[in-house]
């Protein structure tokens, strides 16, 4: 059990049966009344960020979060299959746990699986991924610094806005957190 005086950013706790991570917290001692802790907590399952206040005497169950590197093998509509790099065991997850990360992951890519209390909770792709453009409008000569953009389809099926000079077959560096184009490689 952990009390509000032990809070740290990034710590995972259980509140009302759901698991949250602490985004930020602040101990407040008003001139009148009792002290309290103002927090922003993020729900692990839904991603929703809530503002909550807690009394200093409240206690919560601390939840252990581990990250494990695994190899992404393939995905079907029913499952996402990963392989443990240490013992070569395969792990099958529902696609809902992977979420939008599947848009930026290709076969045999190393990903991170966050485990909460020993159970898989979330699939996290590398921050930057290199993917090939499979379809986009042809670039026009001279469109190098005009600042415009156009949609491009990547090899994983993701749709990304790219500069006008990008053409089909180019390899791009994409930020998987935002889905934005970074650079051509």
Question: Domain locations in the chain?
Answer: 2-63, 65-124, 129-184
Phi, psi angle pair for 99, to nearest 5° = 60, -135
Q: Is the pLDDT of residue 63 over 80?
A: yes
* CATH number, domain 2-63: 2.30.30.30
Which H/E stretch holds residue 180?
Answer: strand 180-184
Confidence tier at 145 by pLDDT (50, 70, 90):
low
Give the whole-angstrom CA distance, residue 185 versus residue 175.
Answer: 13
Give the whole-angstrom CA distance, residue 98 versus residue 79.
Answer: 10
* Per-residue pLDDT at 90: 92
pTM of the model: 0.69
* Per-residue pLDDT at 97: 77
- Report how far apart, in Å, the C-alpha atoms of 30 and of each of 34, 40, 51 are: 7, 19, 18
For 102-144, how does the pLDDT look when each residue is reduced to its tens digit (9 = 90+)? Answer: 889 999 999 998 888 777 877 888 999 999 999 998 866 665 6
* CATH number, domain 129-184: 2.40.50.140
Q: How many CA atoms lie within 13 A of 166 on its CB side?
A: 27
> How would CATH label the architecture of 65-124?
Beta Barrel (2.40)
Fold match between domain 65-124 and domain 129-184: yes
C-beta separation of 179 from 173 below 8 A: no
Residue the block writes with tokens 């957190």: 177
């Amino acid at each position: 059990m952990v009390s509000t005086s032990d809070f740290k950013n990034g710590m995972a706790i259980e509140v009302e049966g759901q698991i949250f991570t602490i985004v930020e917290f602040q101990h407040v001692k008003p001139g009148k009344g009792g002290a309290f802790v103002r927090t922003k907590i993020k729900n692990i399952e839904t991603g929703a960020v809530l503002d909550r206040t807690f009394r200093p005497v409240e206690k919560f169950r601390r939840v252990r979060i581990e990250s494990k590197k695994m190899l992404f093998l393939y995905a079907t509509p029913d499952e996402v299959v990963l392989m443990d790099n240490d013992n070569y065991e395969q792990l099958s997850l529902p696609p809902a746990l992977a979420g939008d990360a599947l848009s930026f992951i290709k076969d045999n890519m190393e990903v991170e699986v966050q485990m909460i209390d020993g159970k898989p909770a979330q699939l996290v792709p590398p921050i930057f991924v290199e993917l090939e453009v499979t379809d986009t409008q042809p670039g026009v000569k001279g469109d190098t610094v005009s600042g415009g953009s156009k949609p491009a389809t990547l090899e994983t099926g993701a749709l990304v806005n790219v500069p006008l000079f990008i053409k089909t077959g180019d390899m791009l560096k994409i930020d998987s957190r935002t889905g934005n184009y970074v650079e051509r490689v």
